[in-house]
Chains A and B, each alone.
Chain A
């Protein structure tokens, strides 16, 4: 298993600003995943954060809007840039997956953009 801490747990932001979400894992992992869960929706993968290389983004998500850092094997950040109300969502960091299927999630960062 893995213990994942995310900060902030929630925030209210103004349109046009940016917010950086931090994710800390209690063990070294090769890949970290960033998901978004919009109100009433399921999880959508934003990108995979790889240590030592650029993040891999899913269709519909771009680096300029969601820059990701992965400075070491236990930490990653996701920035939501130039926010609009449509970015209001829960952002979740996770590790694991693969054939075992068990993803471990942080408790999420609930973002509200006014």
Chain B
């Protein structure tokens, strides 16, 4: 079983749509959770951290369910510029600073 699993997509949505991505992780000892964004032929960049209480940043909302080992990302009012691959990322083990990346979910927002 992969440490971090995501639906690969692609998700094709019209501008203005709301889209949700899901992610599950296998290591119950995981302590930190993140969403990264990767544009085509570019390096990944941090989109937002995911907190137990849930957190929001503009049109983006991230949620964590530790009991189910499940992470989500909701994008409201999609823009063309949101088209990218969204990577679910987990910091697995205390003291281990390297991150484990999911395979990513590709989003294509269409006009």
Are A and B co-members of a single complex?
Answer: yes
Binds B, one of A15-23, A68-76, A78-86, A91-99: A91-99
CA distance in complex: A107, B87 (Å): 17
Residues in B whose Cβ lies below 8 Å from that of A31: 97-98
CA distance in complex: A6, B33 (Å): 27
Residues in B whose Cβ lies below 8 Å from that of A103: 44, 46, 99
B44 touches A98 (CB 8 A): no
Chain A, residues 1-40, CB within 8 Å of chain B (1/0): the string is 0000000000000000000000000000001010100000
Q: Is B109 an interface residue (CB 8 A)?
A: no
Chain B interface, number of residues (Cβ within 8 angstroms): 21
CA distance in complex: A43, B49 (Å): 18
Tell me the minimal C-beta distance from A34 to chain B in angstroms.
10
Chain A interface, number of residues (Cβ within 8 angstroms): 21
CA distance in complex: A102, B22 (Å): 20
CA distance in complex: A42, B32 (Å): 19
Residues of chain B whose beta carbon lies under 8 Å from any beta carbon of chain A: 31-34, 42-46, 49, 87, 89, 91, 97-104
Residues of chain A whose beta carbon lies under 8 Å from any beta carbon of chain B: 31, 33, 35, 41-45, 48, 92, 97-103, 105-108
Instruction: Contacts A42-B87, A103-B99 known; list 18 others, CB within 8 Å.
Output: A31-B97, A35-B101, A41-B103, A43-B44, A45-B100, A97-B98, A98-B91, A98-B97, A99-B31, A99-B91, A100-B49, A101-B33, A101-B49, A101-B99, A102-B46, A103-B46, A105-B43, A105-B45
